[in-house]
Amino acid sequence: MKFSKMFIPTTKETPNDATLPSHQFLVRGGFISQTGAGIYDYMPLGKIVLDKIRAIVKEEMDKSGANEVQFGFVTPLSLWQESGRATTMGNELLRFKDRKNGDYVLSPTNEEAVVNMVKNRITSYKDLPINLYQIYTKFRDEARPRFGLMRGREFLMKDAYSFHDSKEDLIREFNLMEETYKNVYNRLGLEFRVVEADSGAIGGSGSKEFHVLANSGEDTIVVCDSCDYGANIEAATRKANKKEKLETISQEKVETPNCKTIEEVSNFLNADAYYSMKAVIKKAIFEESSEVVVFFVRGTDELEETKACNAVDALELEDASEEDVSKAGLCAGYCGIVNLPENIKVFVDNELAEDNNLVCGANEENYHFKGVDLTSMENIVYKDLVAVQEGDLCSCCGGKLSYTKGIEAGHIFQLGTKYSEAMDAKFLDSNGKAQPFEMGCYGIGVSRLVAAVIEQNHDEKGCIWTKATAPYLVDVIVSNAKKDDELEAGMKIYEALKDAGIDTIIDDRTKERFGFKMGDFELLGFPYAVVIGKKLKDGIVEIVDRRTLEKEDVSLDEVVSKIE
Ligand code: ATP
Ligand code: MG
Ligand code: MG
Ligand code: MG
C-alpha cells in the first residue's frame, strides 16, 4: 500500500480524556475515531489491525472444531425474560422499543440467543458435543466507558458457547478452549497469564481469565513466581479466606444516618465511628491492598448512579485523583453495593454475599435480602477480609506469590445447566431421559486486544505493534520522494518485500519531509522501517528496528533477507 493513497490522519493532539498510551496513540495515529461515549470508528489502519486479530482468533477457533455462526445484534427482550437476566443484568443491558412498542435489547453477550438456536434442534446426546461461536459487535452500556478501546460501550467480542451431555465432556471442552486461547495470545505475540476467576454476572462454576500483562491494566492479579498458578484478586482472596476463617473475622454493623446531600455523606464518612470502614475503603483504593472492599456504584437509574459516584468522590475529599475515583467506581461493577446517599450499603464480594443470603444486582428488584428489602436497610455491613500478601506461599508449589497488573482479554466459563434449565433446553440421553444441556461459554475481547497490544508494547514516541498485529510489517520510507532515484529504489524494495509475502507500506509522500515521515513511523509503530536516503548512491539503505530504534546499514539486495 502507498502512504499517498491511504487515509492515515495522524495528529499531535491528544484527546483530553486519554490517559492511557493505547488511547492516546491509537487516536493520534489515526487508527480510531471517537463518535460518542465508548463508541469508536475504525479508520483504515485500525481496521487492518482489528481484522488481523480477528483472523487469528477465527483460525484457532476453527482449528478447535468450533462452528462460526452469527446472532442478531438485536434480540427480543422476551429471550432475556426467559433466562431471568432481563432483571439481573441491570443498566449494562441497553433496552429499547420498536415502533410497535415491542421490547428489544442490544446484545451484550449471547447465552440466551444460542440456547434459542440449539433448543429443539439438538435433541439427542448423539448430536453432542457442539461449540458455536461468533465474532461480532456487542453493546454494554458501561457506567464509565473510558480508556478508548479498552472499555468501550460498543466493542467486538468473540463469544463461543458449547453444549454437552455431561459435566466431564464440558470440562474437556473447557480445557480445549484454554489451550485454544493460549495459542491465540501466543500467536499475537503477547505476554499473558491464565488466572482463576469468579464467574460474575454470567454465572456458573469454574472460570478462568486471560490477562495481558501491562502496568496500566485495570485488574490486579496474583501470580506465582515458580509455577503457572495465577488468580484474579477476588478469586485469590476467596481462596485465602476459607469459609471457617471468615466466620471469625470481625464483622460490624453500624447504623447510618439517612444522608440526603453529599455534605452529609462526607460528614458521615468522616465521623470517628466510621473510621474503620473508611480506612478499609481507603486501603482498597489507594494501597491497592487485596482487601476486596469494593463498592457497587450502581443506582437504580442514571441520577442515582451519578449520586453514587459523587458519594465515592466524597469518600476521599483530600487526595483522591480522578483516576482513583474511577478505579473505585470500576471495581464496583464487580462485587458489592453502595447505593448512596440514601443509605450506605457496602457488601464485599458477590459470592460472600450469596453465602450470607444476599443477592447483589444492579436494579431495584435485586436489592433484597432473601425476603428482607435491602432498599430500606439502614445498616452498613462489611467484613474485613484477610489479604493475600506479596510473598505469601503458593498453595500449588510453595513458590512466592506476587501482585501484577493485567488487562482482561478473555474469559472462559463452565456454565453448567443454568441457562438450559431456565430456558427448558433439553436433549435425550442414552437412556432416553430428557436432560438439560451442560454448557460452557468463552469470550475474547477482540477490540480490547487492539488496545492491549499497545499497552504492553509502546514507548514515549508511540505504538510498537507485534509482528502478528502490525498493520504493515515494514514501512519503506523514501526520504525525498521528489527524487526519482530514491522513489524508484523505494518502489523496487517495496515490490520485492511484497513478493516475499511481507505486508509493506511505502511512504511515497512528496509533500512531507523525512523528519515528519520518521515521526509517523514511530507513532504508527510498524516493526521495521527501510529508509532510502543519502547512502543510496553507494547502494546502501538503512533498516530501523522500531522496538530498539537501532539502525543498520544494508545493501539494497540484502533488505528482504534481513527482514524475513
Ligand atoms: P470487565 O471485567 O473488563 O468489565 P467482563 O468480565 O465484564 O469485562 P466478559 O463478560 O467476561 O467481560 O466478556 C468477555 C471479554 O470481553 C472480556 O474478557 C473482555 O476482554 C471483553 N470486554 C468486556 N467488556 C468490554 C468492554 N466494555 N470493552 C471492550 N471489551 C470488553
Ligand atoms: Mg464488565
Ligand atoms: Mg471481568
Ligand atoms: Mg469477564
Read off the amino acid at residue 261: T
Give residue 209 CA to ligand 4 midpoint distance, Å.
7
From the CB of 151, is ligand 1 less than 6 Å away? yes
- Complex ipTM: 0.99
- Spatial distance between the Cα atoms of 380 and 281, rounded to a whole number of angstroms: 13
How many helices and strands (H and E) does the chain possess?
Answer: 18, 25
Pairing of strands 528-532, 474-478: parallel
Q: Which ligand is nearest to the CA of 156?
A: 1
Position 198 scores a pLDDT of 64
- Spatial distance between the Cα atoms of 456 and 419, rounded to a whole number of angstroms: 36
Position 233 scores a pLDDT of 75
Q: Which ligand is nearest to the CA of 152?
A: 1
From the CB of 152, is ligand 1 less than 6 Å away? yes
Residue nearest to atom 11 of ligand 1 (CA): 411
Which atom of ligand 1 lies at the shortest distance from residue 449's CA? 20
Give residue 386 CA to ligand 2 midpoint distance, Å.
25
Give residue 106 CA to ligand 4 midpoint distance, Å.
18
Position 420 scores a pLDDT of 96
Residue nearest to atom 16 of ligand 1 (CA): 445
From the CB of 159, is ligand 1 less than 6 Å away? no
Give yes or no for a contact between 34 and 13, defined as CB atoms under 8 angstroms apart: no
Residue nearest to atom 21 of ligand 1 (CA): 445
pTM of this structure: 0.79
**Surface-to-core class of residue 331, CB atoms within 10 Å of its CB (0-12 exposed, 13-18 middle, 19+ buried):** buried
- Spatial distance between the Cα atoms of 545 and 466, rounded to a whole number of angstroms: 12
Give residue 411 CA to ligand 4 midpoint distance, Å.
5
Q: Which residues pair with 297 in a beta bridge?
A: 338
Residue nearest to atom 19 of ligand 1 (CA): 445
Give residue 223 CA to ligand 3 midpoint distance, Å.
17
Radius of gyration for the chain, computed over Cα atoms and rounded to the nearest angstrom: 26
Residue ranges near ligand 3 (ion) with Cβ within 5 Å: 408
From the CB of 90, is ligand 1 less than 6 Å away? no
Straight-line distance from the first to the last Cα atom of the chain, in angstroms, rounded to the nearest whole number:
18
- Spatial distance between the Cα atoms of 6 and 524, rounded to a whole number of angstroms: 13
From the CB of 383, is ligand 1 less than 6 Å away? no
Give residue 408 CA to ligand 1 midpoint distance, Å.
7
Q: Select from 448, 453, 455 the residue to mutate for testing ligand 1; criterion: most ligand atoms less than 8 Å from CB.
A: 448
From the CB of 140, is ligand 1 less than 6 Å away? yes
Residue nearest to atom 14 of ligand 1 (CA): 443
From the CB of 408, is ligand 1 less than 6 Å away? yes
Per-residue pLDDT of the chain (564 residues; tens, 9 = 90+): 999 999 999 999 999 999 999 999 999 999 999 999 999 999 999 999 999 999 999 999 999 999 999 999 999 999 999 998 887 777 889 999 999 999 999 999 999 999 999 999 999 999 999 999 999 999 999 888 999 999 999 999 999 999 999 999 999 999 999 999 999 999 999 999 999 986 544 445 589 999 999 999 988 899 999 999 998 876 776 566 543 333 332 233 333 334 444 344 434 433 322 233 333 343 333 333 332 233 333 333 344 444 444 444 434 323 334 444 333 333 332 223 332 222 233 333 333 333 333 323 322 333 322 272 333 222 223 333 445 778 888 878 889 999 999 999 999 999 999 999 999 999 999 999 999 999 999 999 999 999 999 999 999 999 999 999 999 999 999 999 999 999 999 999 999 999 999 999 999 999 999 999 999 999 999 999 999 999 999 999 999 999 999 999 999 999 999 998
From the CB of 409, is ligand 1 less than 6 Å away? yes
Please give the C-alpha separations between residue 556 and each of 347, 493, 508, in angstroms, as whole numbers.
66, 8, 18
**Surface-to-core class of residue 474, CB atoms within 10 Å of its CB (0-12 exposed, 13-18 middle, 19+ buried):** buried
Give residue 408 CA to ligand 4 midpoint distance, Å.
7
